[in-house]
Structure 1
Amino acid sequence: MFTKILIANRGEIACRVAATARRMGIRTVAVYSEADANAKHVAVCDEAVLIGPAPAKESYLCGDKIIAVALATGAQAIHPGYGFLSENADFADACANAGLVFIGPPASAMRAMGSKSAAKSLMEKANVPLVPGYHGEDQDADFLHAQADQIGYPVLLKASAGGGGKGMRVIENSTDFKAALASCKREAISSFGDDKVLAEKYLSRPRHIEIQVFADTLGNCIYLFERDCSVQRRHQKVLEEAPAPGMPPERRAAMGEAAVAAAKAVGYVGAGTVEFIANQDGSFYFMEMNTRLQVEHPVTEMITGTDLVEWQLRVAFGEPLPKTQGQLTIHGHAIEARIYAENPEKGFLPSIGTLRHLRSPTAVAFELGGAPLPAGVRIDSGVREGDAISPFYDPMIAKLIVWGADRREALARMAQALADYQIVGLASNIAFLKRLVEGAAFSNADLDTGLIERHHATLFPARQAAPDTALALAAVALLTQEAAASQGSGPWGDALGWRLNSTLGRSLSFADEFVLGLDARAYAVRIAYQPDGWRFNGQRLRLSARDGQELHVKLGERTVHGTVHRDGEQFHVFTGGAHYTLQYNDPMAHAGEAEAEGGRLTAPMPGKVVAVLVGKGQDVKKGEPLVIMEAMKMEHTIAAPHDGLVEDVLYAVGDQVADGAPLLAFKAAA
């Protein structure tokens, strides 16, 4: 077995690979950019080497630098993780030429499957069913437009060399085709260095089902069953589960055998995923093959009792597959949720900031009849409290994976784990994921790739006012902090302000800032001091117990539990499975002014201007696109909030802009 490997990646996958390597007694070398000098993956590896500045193209995508580090540190093999260089055939060849083992498939297999167009042609020859579409080399815009018209709308455009939802557009009618094609090609060239696209018929209510395959160098190839990855936003996966709900054994076998045939057709070695799009009637079509380990691989590990990274290492070393097809069985059900630094209420825009407070659910293991079962809750993460989510890389915070004896148990465990997750310092999708998991559609396995859009009203409900329980917890946290600061004694301070033969009263002002930052509700909390507590808006309020930020209070006849984290003048209250942000003594009256009627439209995050679609002095209509930004490998369109006049354009194509920077001056029509 290898004695030392280099991990050519960062974040949670680098930490994940390092954990298995350590368990197997293999030393690890991390590489890192200047932005990742204090990152978790640097800390968990045995050695770490700086390879360049923050931008990935100057660090994590520099194959020559990474190979040089591997040779200098005595590493025998390179594990690419996923993303970055994991599906780069030239890098795999360069590793082999340098005498290093690339822990992945042969470069020939990557080339065969790396182009969606070429892969579909290969599958067509192998009689694998394909979605109607055009997968050829002719990239003339008029020709592609004609092909789309012939296929019939809606049409799906996809970057031929892409994945992860990058360079993908759904076009509803012929009029929108040219603009969507241009945007798709810009994103494709930025993300993959190749602007070729393919066009396919967009299926209504399809499911996204993928098969995990594994092959060794001895000619053995098996499938480790399927994962359902239908729940997506912006064509990127949000929830994944294994096995796929409602999958009959005969269809599972048919899809698995088709996936193995696809892998064998290209001489595949290692871990790979063959992805299918499936109709509700059970028919399925080949979509693409990912020639690497997938983000969602943990759910397969949970139901099969395998460590797929260990399998990768053993196969790369020349060992046979640890199990045969007949030795694999499905045990229980697993679900994975991707915890992202993003704002679902603002179109899932990535959020930049520091993890000022991070509390993950506790990993839990279970036993049944004395036999160990998979961990009931598993966290794969590449960040710690105090780390920053930067604009340079994917904004994933962690992967939350749960296992249950059946899907119902897994759903309950996921809902509880999401309720226990606490993040302060940036926006996250945790509350959205909890609504999604508890919603009728996902709970009842009514799955398709348009689930989020179909259930938008229930998944994005109107923001509710903070309950008195959250306000009471914030008030107690504030009052006890004041008491402790003033007196410096007692387990949680005394009821500062109590007076003999009189009652001291005061009013605390909080504001509950809405997610969109366009409105805020003010709360006036009336406090009266008493010997053993307070009166809170007329109700008796008493602190029963405190353990750090954990508070147990008695409000009237109710017992309330929660965590309160103070960040400056913001009180983050976690109670009842919800997170409330209360601003103390600040009505937030000016929130959202920058994008109110008239004024200057601002950048929603740090990024680069890739297109300016209007000029100074131009009249525009509400909803008309004005500027296109690129951030975190995704394009974001800034549109006119009202009919109006563009008074000035403040940035040009190629300019880097900061979060909140005014992009143009805009005057609303009278």
Structure 2
Amino acid sequence: MSSIRKILIANRGEIAVRIMQTARRLGISTVAVYSDADVQAPHVTLADEAIRIGAGPVGESYLVIDNILDAARQTNADAIHPGYGFLSENADFAEAVQKAGLIFIGPDAEAISLMGNKAAAKRRMIEAGVPCVPGYEDADQSDERLIEAANDIKFPIMVKAAAGGGGRGMRLVQDMDELKNALVTARSEAANAFGSDELILEKAIIYPRHVEIQVFADRHGQVVHLGERDCSVQRRHQKVIEESPCPVMTAELRADMGAAAVEAARNINYVGAGTVEFLLDQSGAYYFLEMNTRLQVEHPVTEMVTGLDLVELQIKVAQGETLDLKQEDVSLDGHAIEVRLYAEDPNNDFMPATGKIVAWRPVTMDNVRFDGGVVEGQDISPFYDPMVAKVIAYGDDRETARKRLVEALRQTALLGPATNRDFLVTCLEKETFIKGEATTAFIGEIFGETGYTAEPVSNETVALQGVLHFIHDRGQALDRAISVPDALKNFSTTGDLQTPYSLLIGEEIFDLTVSSAQAGSYQVDITFEEGAETILVETHDDEQVTPDVSLSFNVNNKIFKSRAVFDANVLFHAMQSADTAIFLSSINQLHVTDDGADGSAGGLVTAPLHGRVIEVFVKVGDKVEEGQKLAVVEAMKMQHEIFSEVEGDVIDVRIVSDQQVSVNDLMIEIAEEDAGDKEDA
């Protein structure tokens, strides 16, 4: 048995922080590694030691095995925890760690290699008698053989990358017409994400639940399962909401699925924390999907219903200790639900959002846990997954946990980059989810082909936004004044002083005036093409715009709670009422110099996000149609197709394959064909 003294965490963000918290409680020193983009990140400041391992891109830092091992040598670390993502399921890394004489806090390289290839894993599970989805997982990867296999399996089918997961290299194919393009796209995504373009095919199980079993094994033959997690709510095969226990689980089914998961782990001599994922159909039949040979993102829900610390168990097993846990000791008490809070824009097809976190105020509530990896003032980098935090709520029953989670999200303020918070609340409050009936089709069924769209901004919301601009501007003016008696504030010799604003909120401009006859009382007049509306806003709170103080406003007899902050002339605002909670940002265009530039003209094709250009399909001189594919940009290992919004001639192409682009960079310029040209044609 080897006692671990110092752990190097080969990861970043919330999972690095999470591992350090347990290590510190156990009296174990920690080492952080960081890239140039993470110099001020929380995991760096929390660790006992920190070593720079390279530039921002993962291929120059967090994926460079030699740099990580060198950091371990420099700091005399005796163990490495890989977290999740990055190198956590890289068999070469696990082997290199062990060859360097260090303890790898995870399974052996052989198990990682076997289960890391979906084709090999499925063949092994079939041999072990674990139920599997009918499909094709053989070595012949020719289009002809895959097409033949698809015909044998019968549509619909799933095309999947054999070497990876997380939705990358995965396509649902309804018929033969879609198959060839799906094979091309899946191969490309798989090769870029995992370094292998090998594919497998599986029969698509319609309306399944995604249910996974947490397993743990030590080096002394002890293997147990810690119950299940339902991860059915997914968007593009990426998990959005996870919970334990599964709403439709029975004691019998849990015992059966748990036994299958334990057998899967035992069959490959597995050691440590692992997750065996299954599809559960409506009849109660279940099928092996894959095994994740690491700690899962969603492990906190298991911790909350079992009372166990999974990171602590990982460390103890890595030290050679026997699991002090028998299957009959494991029980699931209460209910826990987790959501992943991302810096992404649901109104822009969930594109990753970058930029400065202007304010971060996670709520403090009983039975609510935040696993976060960001701090206020930190920039969300384009190089990494945009998850900001995981929010987990516990309750004696599912509905208590659900309501508690909704309230925690509503009271949490993250101002700066766009986030998916409002989308998460919407999902949690849908009747299908409340009833525990969500399957993997949930998001597609609820939001349809058009996807998620935020509710329109109400006039009351616009009015409150205007009042906050007014309070801020008045405060700045008073700060510049030598001395202004309270009795003269808001005073005007010609009646109430009206201050005009032209607020850009989202893509809309709202023209309004704000006046204040006395402290805490405001009249907002909003002008529309069809008329105007007057809205009264009152507050008895100390009037200041700061995220540290929650102000209460009465807006036309409706109460709003407000936290706000200005940064670079932009007002970032978190507001909450009895029936809504939203983040808004606005800028007063009357304070902004207009240079006449219009960066959003239809013929100017700009990058929708930070990423890497994978392929360009047009060149100067080409004629393009509206809706024609122009390029593919990859961000976070997901490929985003760029289409033309206009018909016309390509007059400039500023991108090439493998080029990095930033959001709003001009990529392609198209001379739009006007109506007269179309008629002449």
TM-score range, shorter chain: over 0.9
**2:356 alignment partner, one of 333, 344, 354:** 354
How far is 1:156 from its partner? 1.3
Identical positions, percent: 42
5+ residue gaps, structure 1, are 366-375
Distance 2:336 2:304 in 1: 6
Give the structure 2 partner of residue 291 of structure 1: 293
**2:497 alignment partner, one of 488, 496, 505:** 505
Give the structure 1 partner of residue 161 of structure 2: 159
How far is 1:643 from its partner? 4.1
Whether the 8 Å contact between 1:207 and 1:448 is mirrored in structure 2 is yes
Q: Aligned letter for 2:399? A: R
Whether the 8 Å contact between 2:349 and 2:451 is mirrored in structure 1 is no
Distance 1:586 1:146 in 2: 64
TM-score by length of 1: 0.92
Whether the 8 Å contact between 2:358 and 2:565 is mirrored in structure 1 is no
Distance 2:671 2:151 in 1: 39
Give the structure 2 partner of residue 413 of structure 1: 404
Change (3 A) 1:463 1:531: closer
Give the structure 2 partner of residue 438 of structure 1: 429
Distance 1:341 1:31 in 2: 23
Change (3 A) 1:356 1:493: farther
Cα shift readout 1:219-275 (whole Å, capped 9, x = no counterpart): 000000000001111111011001111111111111000000000000000000000
How far is 1:541 from its partner? 4.2
Change (3 A) 1:141 1:211: same
Cα shift readout 1:11-69 (whole Å, capped 9, x = no counterpart): 11110000000000000111111211111111111001111111212211122221222
How far is 1:487 from its partner? 5.3
How far is 1:497 from its partner? 5.1
Give the structure 2 partner of residue 216 of structure 1: 218
How far is 1:621 from its partner? 3.5
Q: Secondary structure at the match of 2:290?
A: strand
How far is 1:558 from its partner? 5.2
Whether the 8 Å contact between 1:191 and 1:633 is mirrored in structure 2 is yes
Change (3 A) 1:178 1:615: farther
Note if 1:551 corresponds to 2:551: yes
**1:603 alignment partner, one of 607, 615, 618:** 607
Distance 2:94 2:601 in 1: 51
Q: Secondary structure at the match of 1:188?
A: helix
Give the structure 2 partner of residue 198 of structure 1: 200
Give the structure 2 partner of residue 635 of structure 1: 639
How far is 1:582 from its partner? 2.8
Q: Secondary structure at the match of 1:423?
A: strand
Aligned CA RMSD, in angstroms, stands at 2.6
Q: In the TM superposition, what are the counterparts of 1:331-370 in structure 2 within 5 Å?
A: 331-362=333-364, 364-365=365-366
Give the structure 2 partner of residue 65 of structure 1: 67
Q: Secondary structure at the match of 1:139?
A: coil
Give the structure 1 partner of residue 452 of structure 2: 460
Whether the 8 Å contact between 1:473 and 1:564 is mirrored in structure 2 is no
Give the structure 2 partner of residue 368 of structure 1: none
Q: Aligned letter for 2:415? A: V
Distance 1:493 1:555 in 2: 28
Change (3 A) 1:483 1:342: closer
Give the structure 2 partner of residue 140 of structure 1: 142
Distance 1:495 1:480 in 2: 19
Q: Secondary structure at the match of 1:250?
A: helix
Whether the 8 Å contact between 2:616 and 2:656 is mirrored in structure 1 is yes
Distance 2:451 2:400 in 1: 22
Give the structure 2 partner of residue 255 of structure 1: 257
Q: Secondary structure at the match of 1:69?
A: helix
Cα shift readout 1:50-94 (whole Å, capped 9, x = no counterpart): 111112122111222212221231211111111111111121111
Q: Aligned letter for 1:386? A: G
Q: Secondary structure at the match of 1:161?
A: coil
The more displaced of 171-180 and 154-163 is 171-180
Change (3 A) 1:495 1:541: farther
The more displaced of 300-309 and 101-110 is 101-110
Give the structure 1 partner of residue 508 of structure 2: 520
Distance 1:347 1:539 in 2: 33
**2:113 alignment partner, one of 111, 126, 134:** 111
Give the structure 2 partner of residue 618 of structure 1: 622
Q: Aligned letter for 1:26? A: I
Distance 2:231 2:562 in 1: 34
**1:448 alignment partner, one of 436, 439, 450:** 439
Give the structure 2 partner of residue 88 of structure 1: 90
The more displaced of 282-291 and 320-329 is 320-329
Distance 1:159 1:472 in 2: 49
Give the structure 2 partner of residue 425 of structure 1: 416
Give the structure 2 partner of residue 98 of structure 1: 100
Q: Secondary structure at the match of 1:392?
A: coil
Distance 1:493 1:27 in 2: 57
Q: Secondary structure at the match of 1:231?
A: strand
Change (3 A) 1:540 1:452: closer
Note if 1:385 corresponds to 2:385: no
Give the structure 2 partner of residue 569 of structure 1: 569
Change (3 A) 1:260 1:354: same
Q: Aligned letter for 1:23? A: R
Distance 2:597 2:315 in 1: 51
How far is 1:477 from its partner? 5.3
Give the structure 2 partner of residue 650 of structure 1: 654
